[in-house]
Amino acid sequence: MSIVKLPVSAVAEVLYCPRNFYYRIVEQAEDYNHHVLEGRKQEERREQRLNVNREGYKQSRKIFLDSDFYNIAGTLDVIEEKDGMIYPIEYKKGPLRNNVNDDVQVCCQALLLEEHLNKDISKGYVFYVESAKRRVVVLSQDLRELTIQTIQRAKEIIEKGEIPQPVNDQRCHGCSLIERCLPEETKYLKEGNQKPRKPVPSVNLGRVLYVDTPGAYLRKKDGRILVTKDKETIRDIPLTAIDQIVLVGTVNISGPLLQELLRNSIPVHFATTYGNYLGWLNPTFNKNSLLRLAQARAVDNENLRLVLAKAFVRGKLSNMRTLLLRYNRNLRNEQISYVTTQLNKIIMKVESADSLEELLGYEGNGSREYFSILHLLLKKDNEFYFSGRNRRPPRDPINAMLSYGYSLLCKDVVNELMRVGLDPYLGFYHSNIYGRPALALDIMEEFRSIIVDSAVLTAINTGMVNQADFRQEFGKCEMSEKGRKALFQAYRNRINEEITHPIFGYKLNYRRNIELQVRFMAKVLTKELNEYKPFLVR
């Protein structure tokens, strides 16, 4: 892989963490945390300042320079001319400090200036905004050599196209890419040993702002999102606390806020009052073409497909069994116990399957067993009848709710796949036919029972839905608007519910767990992990 010209701002990342550099340059990652957003705000304020030009003193701002010799390019914050000297000044967030990465960045800028002006530059400065102080950077021979070596190393990382190992130390804790990189989790999955700590809160925690109050209006104010209704503020949240926004029904949003969200790579999803997904406003198509290439290659690898399919089916059947076991702790029903034993036997056979067809058989048998007794998990006095799964069209209320819930889950999985950079339509277990989000259907197998089936059971057992919310027509069962809304609410509650991660031991909501599974899938496809472990609830 090659890149037109290496951005100067990224060169110093190689010294900080080569993996960070890879994400930013090769994968074009633009994840944000509060450090990044604060830096950006400071930059916006600086952009308001004017150039200075008076007798014997000149400051020029935001000057773009590039170099064919070093193959680097960048926009210099400030070029200062004083006492016959000219030098770059780089602005940094935070307090005054000695930092070799900053020195290398200033040196890169000086190399650009030297080539452009054809004259020697002997120094530069770094201005630290928090301390409002500048530090001189002497462009010694040693610093020049380190800078050239770093540029060379950056080029090698790009040429190689392989993701460098995580640094896995204190640097990771302030890193805006930690939610993508998952250094401790990846190490733990590969080597075991020390359990990962829950990542320090960052912007990318999968935090979703849902707004479904009819007539609500979202606008931006001083880096915050204000949600108002009839001039009354109903939510006031920092932009940094949000990872995506879902607007349901007749909710309005201001143009300036939309622009700010796009600038900060925060997608906005639109759904109807009944949960029907309309689409999303996303900053850009995911730029990780190398990942999509790896995915396309993996689809042609029959062995890998079977291995992944086994993980999906094992995840699906195991989580169905766990759901039954959980309910049966109180119910103590023999039929349920019998089915959990049957499911266990089928799960044991999954690993020995020689083909996707054989696996489909096991999955079918297990699902039939599970759905044959799902009605036993409903409260005794419920008004609903269920004798097994049917669809296209669903013929009874519970099947209508299950179908609707699975479609909501599918959209959420598609969303996570797109965010991570995978193609939702290229799957491994489900066949790839036109218009079918096969990979989303693969990943959602592990989550169907524990998110959707659980939400449907809750909606019925707590009286959120009743028979009046359904109507039968031509052998097809349809949900009323009120029923859809109630189920959407139950689904939303469930997907936002926190659960202790079965492997890592820290708490995350189901939505974020879906994202983790998708990220681990990406790591398997790029060969960073050699096994995809299904999400198995306990």
Q: Which residue ranges make up the site for ligand SF4 (CB under 6 A)?
A: 17, 19-20, 23, 166-167, 171-172, 175, 177-178, 181, 183
Residue 183 Cβ vs ligand SF4, minimum distance, rounded to whole Å: 4
Helices (H), ranges, 397-534: 397-420, 438-444, 454-461, 481-495, 510-525
CB-count burial class (<10 Å; 0-12, 13-18, 19+) for 538: exposed
CA distances (Å), 289 to each of 26, 158, 186, 402, 449, in order?
Answer: 9, 14, 22, 35, 33
Residue number, 27 or 90, with CB nearest to ligand SF4: 27
Rounded to a whole number of angstroms, the minimum distance from the CB of residue 290 to ligand SF4 is: 16
Q: Which residues pair with 499 in a beta bridge?
A: 508
Task: Tell me if 504 sits within 8 A of 188, measured CB to CB.
Answer: yes
Tokens of 105: 């960045």
Closer of 166 and 315 to ligand SF4 (Cβ): 166
Choice between 186 and 509, CB closer to ligand SF4: 186
State in angstroms the smallest separation of the CB of 11 from ligand SF4: 16
Work out how close the CB of 35 gets to ligand SF4 at its nearest, in angstroms, rounded to a whole number.
12
CA angle 233, 238, 244 (to 5 degrees): 100
Q: How far is the CB of 199 from ligand SF4 (least distance, A)?
A: 8
d(CA 263, CA 283): 7
**CB 135 to ligand SF4: min, Å:** 24
Residues 480-488: contacts with CB under 8 Å, at least 24 apart: 481/273, 481/274, 483/401, 484/274, 484/275, 484/404, 485/273, 485/274, 485/275, 486/459, 487/275, 487/401, 487/404, 487/405, 487/455, 487/456, 487/459, 488/248, 488/274, 488/275, 488/408
Q: How far, rounded to the nearest angstrom, does the alpha carbon of residue 294 sit from its chain's CA centroid?
A: 19
DSSP state of 233: E
Beta carbon nearer to ligand SF4, 298 or 529 = 529
Q: Is 354 helix (H, G, I), strand (E, B) or coil?
A: coil
Of 17 and 336, the one with the shorter C-beta distance to ligand SF4 is: 17
Instruction: Enumerate the β-bridge partners of residue 125.
Output: 89, 136
Length of the chain: 538
Give the integer Cα–Cα distance in Å for 417 and 421. 6
Minimum distance between the CB of residue 142 and ligand SF4, rounded to whole angstroms? 25
* Strand positions, DSSP E, 255-304: 268-271, 277-281
**In terms of CB distance, is 111 or 163 closer to ligand SF4?**
163
Which of 166/421 has CB closer to ligand SF4? 166
Q: Give the nearer residue to ligand SF4 in terms of CB position, either 24 or 310.
A: 24
- Pick between residue 7 and residue 366 the one whose CB is nearest to ligand SF4: 7
- The residues facing 235 across adjacent strands are 227
Q: Which is nearer to ligand SF4, 197 or 297 (CB)?
A: 197
Distance of closest approach, residue 26 Cβ to ligand SF4, in angstroms:
12
Distance CA 414, CA 408 (A): 10
Report the C-alpha gap between 468 and 280 in whole angstroms.
33
Contacts of 37 (CB under 8 A, 6+ apart): 203, 223, 239, 240, 264
We find the least distance from the C-beta atom of residue 416 to ligand SF4, in angstroms, to be 19
Q: How far is the CB of 19 from ligand SF4 (least distance, A)?
A: 4
